[in-house]
Chains A and B, each alone.
Chain A
């Protein structure tokens, strides 16, 4: 379990995160959403021990990430948005680096790489951006770590690779692992992320499972416009509208509409989804 308590961080005098608190439970794939500049990447780097909180505290299974104790690092991995094109073949890179993570499996790495259709004998500094990203994703998933933080993992992937990514994430992650995936491409990950975390600079607006969201909000895909809707958007052949669920009727959560509804009605949705 990861506990974030009253966390604040700033770059010089520019505050990025202020008094953020939340809990991330084992065995979940969190979708971390937020507008540009709210601090999604900063939060991921704080969770992985790459930065030190200005105030507040992060605790990951009893470890403080910034202490960077080897036994903590051995059970986590952070995949940044931009990755380094090292002068190794994919196969050698995984063999040399993977040795530091006790649960790393070279066979699993090659298996995932094959699914992504990347040649293991290819030098990484000769790969395209998409191939390089797929190599790192394969490596991250083959590590067998409990805490995996992925920053915009589908950026630069082609359409078949996005589907392969979803398949690989559900197939190769541990039962008890915590995945936090920061993304703007919510449609790419709609079927795998649950719960949803929507971050604002000064607050966590939403940290709820899809079930909890659909019990409080109703997603209407009909043709009739509801003036009381928290958010509505015209689509070809109808509307997508987000309403307060007053009838306990179930509906399929549309993450993009949810995100827009939250941003138009921050306090209301926050209070509605408060646990």
Chain B
């Protein structure tokens, strides 16, 4: 059992991993987290020149927040964990005495818990600073945008669907898929991961078409479903469907990352 997981060894590896993240991505994370604030401050500085008020538009502000999050989830894996496919740095990482499970768990803790927490803190800080300059800005704009400030933002009337959990799972899936790509591809890690996602999407749509073309899924079935439609039932279906989908995707991504770490060669 100690060969698979040991708390003391995991602690050491986690500290090492954090050091690595700080050295490789600390500054980039800070820039990304403060990105909406920086854009706002630039317009504030330029306002005497342009003769207008400092710019603020909630939709564009949310867009900037989205861009910051997207950039982090696309490039974090390649910058921090992409080194494992390099000849020199990868060799040193593979022979580091920690088990594949410990290395995987540390990666998951950082990408799915610590990184979003730090990014969120920075985005909220940006939001708060902007709200000090522009009185009509909601200091919780970021919260609302992420579906954390209220229920039902993303799914209309189905108030019991767990939006924050879904938002977090969507983040985890996004960042883990690009981290897996970074562990697998030696060069153009992000581009090749995009191509894979594209290919898999096409494959999935063909598969879905094939399923819907079978005799068991026909118009009558849908008609019957909508005949006795009620909101609570639909909500249950959505919850179960989403849970199954996200659970399956997360399990596949975690298994893929673990398998890659376990079998990577130099």
Contacts and interface: CB of A to CB of B under 8 A. Distances in A.
Interface of A: 45, 48-52, 68-71, 73-74, 76-78, 80, 82-84, 86-88, 96-97, 99-101
Contacts of A97: 16, 92, 96
A69 B87 CA distance: 21
17 contacts: A45-B266, A49-B94, A49-B95, A68-B94, A68-B100, A71-B3, A73-B98, A74-B97, A76-B95, A80-B87, A80-B91, A83-B88, A84-B86, A84-B88, A84-B89, A96-B19, A97-B96
B187 interface: no
On chain B, which size bracket covers the interface? 20 to 34
Main secondary structure, interface of B, reads: helix
Q: Find the residue from A51, A70, A84 having the highest chain B CB count within 10 A.
A: A70
Interface of B: 2-3, 6, 9, 12-13, 16, 19, 23, 86-89, 91-92, 94-100, 102, 262-263, 265-266
Nearest to B87: A82
A70 B94 contact: no
Contacts of A78: 91, 95
A82 B171 CA distance: 37
Nearest to B92: A84
Contacts, number: 69
Contact of A70 (B9, B23, B87, B262): B9
B33 to A, nearest CB: 22
A83 B100 CA distance: 23
Contacts of A101: 97
Nearest to A71: B3
B9 A50 contact: no
A78 B102 CA distance: 21
Given A70-B2, A73-B97, 8 more contacts: A45-B266, A50-B91, A51-B266, A68-B95, A71-B2, A83-B88, A97-B92, A100-B12
Nearest to B97: A73
Nearest to A99: B12
